[in-house]
Amino acid sequence: ERRILFSVWSPYKTDNPKEIPEDQRITLLKKGDDVYTGKFGNEGSGGQSYLKHMWKAGQTYRFLLKAKPTVNNSTDYTAWFMDPEVKDWQLIASFRRPKTFTYIKRPHSFLENFMPHMGNKSRMAYYTNQWVCNTTGEWFELSKAKFTADATARKDARLDYAGGVCEGKFFMKNGGFFSERVAFDQYFEREDQGDRPEINLKILK
């Protein structure tokens, strides 16, 4: 089983979703067809959604995230997913986060292995043709990125991680006990592709 996951953290700091005060809970606004929604805990808490989808290694998929400040000092976060075989944007979910009034400021991409017993397997992902759109509809390509690491890498619990640019794409890699370690907290740049997304944002669900 494989999933397309979209989660939004509550501003209230707890690992138990039951402890979140009513006025700081994540509210589900909408969800897509066949999408599961609920709560999560144990790494902070908040609202969770996922679509069971058998994505394939080596295939390029598209993701779209919107953040919009809204009423009562809140922000609405909405995520869509596109499978190139379907060629249509599918709504995952839309959540409202209280005590937050912001647009997207610091986007991140990451590669996570949350099953330690799979540490002998190498995981690698490419990140390419990434763009942001401002409030006036202008698109800007993201061609510079900082390679960072989590606490596991920073305390040298694992040494097999890497990131950078390969064939014009950002990449990250971890696991499998390889040796080509890359120093974190450095910047990498790739050439602009100029392939601006052609998305009619107004007609998205």
- Digitized pLDDT (tens) for each residue of the chain, 205 residues in all: 999 999 999 999 999 999 999 999 999 999 999 999 999 999 999 999 999 999 999 999 999 999 999 999 999 999 999 999 998 999 999 999 999 999 999 999 999 888 889 999 999 999 999 999 999 999 999 999 999 999 989 999 999 999 999 999 999 999 999 998 899 999 999 999 999 999 988 889 7
pTM: 0.93
- Taking the CA atoms of residue 14, residue 64, residue 69 and residue 145 in that order, the dihedral angle to the nearest 10 degrees is 80
pLDDT of residue 85: 93
What is the gyration radius of the CA atoms in the chain, in angstroms? 18
Output the CA–CA distances (angstroms, integers) from residue 132 to 3, 138, 151, in the order listed: 24, 8, 28
Amino acid at 17: P
> Residue 32's closest CA among 85, 84, 89?
89
Task: Tell me phi and psi for residue 24, to 5 degrees.
Answer: -125, 15
